[in-house]
Amino acid sequence: MLASIASARHSIRLESYIFADDEVGRRFAGALAERARAGVEIRLHVDAAGSLFWGPRSLERHLREQGVGVRWFHRWSWRDPLCYNRRNHRKALVVDEEQVYLGGFNIHRENSRALFGEERWRDTHVRLSGDLAIEAARLFDAFWEGERSWTPKQGWGINALMPNHTRACRHALRCLYADRFHEATESIYLTTPYFVPDHRTQRGLRAAARRGIDVRLLVPRKDNVALTRWAARYAYANLLGAGVRIYEYLPRVLHAKTAVVDRDWAMVGTANLDYRSLFLNYELNLVTRDPDLCRQLRSQFFQDLSESEEVLPVQWATRPHRRRVAEAIGWTARRWL
């Protein structure tokens, strides 16, 4: 990403849920400032809630002074406090409308092996080019101008960029999952750091498992939000009872968001399998039928499973009562996590 920024000739569009004032954030800020001084048009869109404790105003002032256009998404306002709860969770970098990066990576040191060591977050990001980069630029521009549900006029080819809120459907991602779970003939492999699914999504997974589909879910054992972990585990029992296999990733925080269905369909992007991504936040995902990418994401899934522990139904049924109480509390708060 930094190399692409350094090579930019005309424009850079960057949106991130977190843009931290740390070693990584300052390095990105320096790279953006250098290109701005060289005459490249740069726009940076940062979520106000996501970067609340990460990006102090001094970093913003520095970027503005260097000619970088900075915009905060849904800053707190007493006039409309509920808007603060709907966030821009998208993470995308578009350079010269020729390259686009998207996925789970925020701009912070937690993703850096050099700075955070072997405990760095396990995440997935992709780089794309061609028409997808042009579409990503148009999606960024529309969002920047307040067109929250705008989508490019495109067919479902090998690759497509998909927001979760469109003019045709307010819950497009949820509907897409439902269709894919229903149509699956062999396997459904899901990786998500925050697993707080609505009842329709749970029913789709249970139904697929009951008709013999190999349904596996990979979630973190370690995470950065305890309440979300409790809410996720509240849903385990019904899924395990239907034959869904659940694994908890052990080495470090798992932040990747991927889905692979039947070897020939996959999705990677910013959306978690939770209430926020399905109903509230703005997300951006790549839906693909590219054989190589599907194969890579499937292979990565099984590599992660090798470092995970399966949650067994018998063990889950005998967990302590205090854990069940914590899980119920987390589930009650699921819409706000």
> Which residues are annotated as catalytic?
89, 91, 96, 255, 257, 262
DSSP 8-state code for residue 62: H
Q: How far apart are CA 211 and CA 243, in angstroms?
A: 10
**DSSP assignment string, 93-109:** EEETTTEEEEES--BSG
Closest of 312, 306, 294 to residue 258, by C-alpha? 294
- At 62, the amino acid letter reads H
Q: How far apart are CA 212 and CA 54, in angstroms?
A: 45
Describe the crossing of helices 172-183 and 199-210 by its angle, rounded to 10 degrees.
10
Q: How far apart are CA 225 and CA 222, in angstroms?
A: 9
Q: How far apart are CA 29 and CA 46, in angstroms?
A: 13
Interacting residues of 56 by C-beta distance below 8 A, sequence separation 6+: 21
In the structure encoding, which two tokens stand for residue 55, read together?
A: 């990006």
**DSSP assignment string, 219-272:** EESS-S-HHHHHHHHHTHHHHHHHT-EEEEE-SS-B---EEEETTTEEEEES--
Closest of 259, 270, 253 to residue 89, by C-alpha? 270
**DSSP assignment string, 185-228:** SSEEEEE-SSEE--HHHHHHHHHHHHTT-EEEEEEESS-S-HHH
In the structure encoding, which two tokens stand for residue 183, read together?
A: 């149509």
Are the CB atoms for 203 and 284 separated by under 8 Å? Answer: no
Are the CB atoms for 217 and 245 separated by under 8 Å? Answer: yes
